[in-house]
Chains A and B, each alone.
Chain A
Amino acid sequence: MIATRRATLLAAAALPLPALVRAQGTEGPIRIGFPTPLTGAFGTEAQDQVRAAEVAVAEFNESGGLGGRRAELLVRDDRLNPGEAATRTLELIERDRVDFLVGGLSAAVQLAINNVAKERKVLFNSISQSDAINEARDWGPTTFHEALNPHMTAGAVARHALPRFGKRWAFLTADYAYGHEMVRGFQRAGQPLGMETLADIRHPTGATDYSTFLPRIAGLRPDVLCLCNFGRDQQIAVKQAGDFGLKRNVKLVAPVLLYTARLAGGGPAFEGVVGGTSYYWRLEETVPSARAFNDRFRRQHGNRVPSDYGALGYGGVRTVLEAAKAAGGTDTAKVVEAMRALRYDYYKGPQYYRGCDHQSVQSVLVIEAKANTARGEADVFDIVAQEGPEERFLRSCEELGHKA
């Protein structure tokens, strides 16, 4: 009896809370849910994504918002765990009533967020690499992909590296989706150019010792060693390959050369490594929008420059907010139409979302790491080539399973 009375009291006390939260939902600020792995292996990149997203929100609000409606960023830690990301996304949609979702760092996490969001018809703009999210099985009409995908990235690097460094390639691949998709991208782009795959050696993610693989790779006498791994794995593999003396005869290539990994790994270890990226701050020397974005970022965040993945946070949030402005509201269907119609140049040159899969068609930068940092600490790469933006570098809509 006492228990039921207490339960009733507690229930009565708790009831008005959700009702209050819901009441604000419709006419308050524009709410953007931003799940990202603040803790875990990609914490550095994630925190930079948040900083860049804050820049986009601040710019929007300073320019008067959407008829006075301000934007608000709801950052949530997904711990790089898809289950956690799904829970946070459910909360963002069901309780916080967000208008849009931007975020995700890692293929599995963005696919989990996407599955939750598309079922509930909430617009999601993904800002990290994945091939699967473009495919008809995972894609939904409210799914957008602002980041590059492995097919584009690996393709651009392969087309740059093959004619210059040689046709005999060995792969050292982290044994998960990212690694496999990258190898597939390299091989597809390399096949018409006469690429010869000597070996595709798989290592578990999070490996710290590559000494067992390196003699085998040296014995194969490749022209190019392609490191299809990410973050700390890449950093350690590059260092150990250098220590082993592999760099004397073999060119090291990585699909995505991370700004943060290079900073952590140091100049001498990375010197000469070639890779792809979506953004590097020295793009500002040729692209005015990059200069504007960098200047604004420096001003807001203590004179630092945005990283590659960080810049995606800016692009992802800004496109959604600009589309909301163009649509004159936050109605999902109208904003989706506005996003599809965007032809934009916000931070890295011209971009647009392809009609069938909402993949952002954009340029891929090929960069080379250097030890000599003449322009200061942050000057770690040279941009050696730029590919696109062109749809022919993407997989075709039919191949992805979309009806034409």
Chain B
Amino acid sequence: MSGTAAPTRARLPGLAPLAEWGMRHRVFGTWLALAALPLLLPSTALATSVVAYGLYALGFNLLFGWGGLLSFGHAALLGGGAYATGIAIAHYGAPWWAAIGVAPVAGAGVAFLMGVLAVRTRGIYFAMVTLALSQCAYHVAYQAVGWTGGENGLRGVNLREVALPFGMVLDGLDPRVRYGLVAVAAGLAVAAVSRVLDSPFGAALAALRENEARARACGYDVRAVRLLAFVLSGAVCGLAGGLLAIHLSVVPVETMHYATSGLAVMLAILGGMHSFFGPFAGAAAFLLLESAVARWTEHWPLVAGTVFMLCVLFFREGIWGTLVGWLRR
């Protein structure tokens, strides 16, 4: 290992320590990325979408990359949060802090209901149970037209102003204000997730992923740990949904569609499921690719699919995981 490391380090002076620094200060690094994102991407709207979907993928990866559980039902958690925020604003005219606040609660609530049933299963059965339950949630949203707008989607999620303490009022239609709101909320959530992963609970989750029988023998309550992880994942994904609702000012019923569940899997794998920042990188890469390629051909899914296949075949650690791996070598 050290034999191959020497020439690489000579070629790329300074980058290996940078990667080390990023690994050690992953929260601060993510915050820097959040601050730089609107300057790097072609539009603030795209940057806001990247942050919201990145947070969604991060929440999903809490269960997938760190807990080793592949869920195909995370659209219900994203949608739960999105509808909670959407209904709070569209039906009750809630202020921004309340509207954002209900999103993780709703996400965690939906996750608890799904988790109670799903954590009894493992592997493919876990994926199938979560998929089935999220389809139930989809049809509830589809039928509850009075609350969700059904097929037409929930419109009128208009956050016209963001009132801050000391009488400061920001214009909610300003893209920079919207990005700031979304980025700060996402930044706090990232810090919380990082703290959880560093806690004894995070270690228990990793132990379960590596060897369930051994973890059980050590005295861990497997179901309880998994349920808690599912609920935490739900809170993060719910928050992402709420931020997305505020960003787009509508909640389409497609948010709950199983394709959105698949998107989380894709973003996590594309970015790197074993790295903390990977899901964000996956979201940025995917959305940027999509918006750039769609500009000159309507066959952009062909390009996105090819990139995804290349990642799965040759870059098993995803874009970010591979990049960090190279830099640290």
Contact = CB atoms under 8 A, between A and B. Distances in A.
Interface of A: 2-4, 7, 10-11, 14-15, 17, 38-39, 43, 47, 76-77, 81-83, 86-87, 90-91, 94-95, 107-108, 111-112, 114-116, 119-120, 130, 132, 137-138, 176-178
B173 A87 contact: no
B36 A10 contact: yes
Interface string B165-198: 0000000010100000000000000000000000
A76 B46 CA distance: 14
Contacts of A115: 155-158, 249-250
Given A14-B40, A90-B175, 7 more contacts: A3-B21, A3-B32, A111-B155, A114-B155, A116-B250, A130-B152, A137-B155
B325 interface: no
Contacts of B109: none
A3 B250 CA distance: 37
B316 to A, nearest CB: 27
B173 A2 contact: no
A11 B40 CA distance: 7
B156 to A, nearest CB: 6
B93 interface: no
Interface in B1-57: 14, 17-18, 21-22, 29, 32, 35-36, 39-40, 42-46, 49
Given A14-B39, A91-B43, A83 B252 contact: yes
A86 B40 CA distance: 21
A39 B304 CA distance: 14
A115 B149 CA distance: 13
A94 B41 CA distance: 14
Interface in B116-155: 150-153, 155
A94 B39 contact: no
Nearest to B42: A95
A176 B157 CA distance: 22
A11 B175 CA distance: 18
A111 B254 contact: no
Interface in B238-257: 244, 247-250, 252-255
Contact of B158 (A83, A112, A119, A177): A119
A281 B156 CA distance: 38
Contact of B248 (A10, A86, A94, A111): A86
A7 B14 CA distance: 15
Contact of A83 (B32, B155, B175, B255): B255
Nearest to A112: B250
A87 B294 CA distance: 13
Contacts of A120: 173
B51 to A, nearest CB: 13
A137 B151 contact: no
B151 A176 contact: yes
A11 B39 contact: yes
Contacts of B298: 38-39, 43, 47, 77
Interface residues of B, number: 43
A11 B44 contact: no
Given A3-B18, A83-B252, A91-B46, A132 B39 contact: no
Contacts of A116: 248-250
Contacts of B45: 87, 90-91, 94-95
Contacts, number: 112
The A contact surface, by secondary structure, is: helix
A95 B250 contact: no
A4 to B, nearest CB: 7
The B contact surface, by secondary structure, is: helix
11 contacts: A2-B18, A83-B254, A83-B255, A90-B43, A90-B45, A91-B43, A94-B45, A107-B151, A107-B152, A111-B250, A178-B151
A114 B153 CA distance: 12
Contact of B153 (A3, A4, A39, A112): A112
A116 B301 CA distance: 26
Given A77-B294, A82-B254, A137 B42 contact: no
A373 B153 CA distance: 41
B153 A111 contact: yes
A86 B244 CA distance: 11
A10 B46 CA distance: 18
B250 A11 contact: no
Contacts of B151: 107-108, 176-178
B175 A39 contact: no
Contacts of A39: 298-301
A94 B43 contact: yes
B249 A108 contact: no
Given A43-B298, A108-B253, A115-B158, A87 B49 contact: yes
A17 B156 CA distance: 32
A108 B255 CA distance: 13
B29, B160, B252, most chain A CB atoms within 10 A: B252
A226 B14 CA distance: 71
A39 B249 CA distance: 23
Contacts of A10: 36, 39-40
Contacts of B42: 17, 95
A11 B152 contact: no
A62 B301 CA distance: 36
Contact of B249 (A47, A81, A119, A177): A119
Contacts of A76: 294
Interface string B257-295: 000000000000000000000000000000000010010
A89 to B, nearest CB: 9
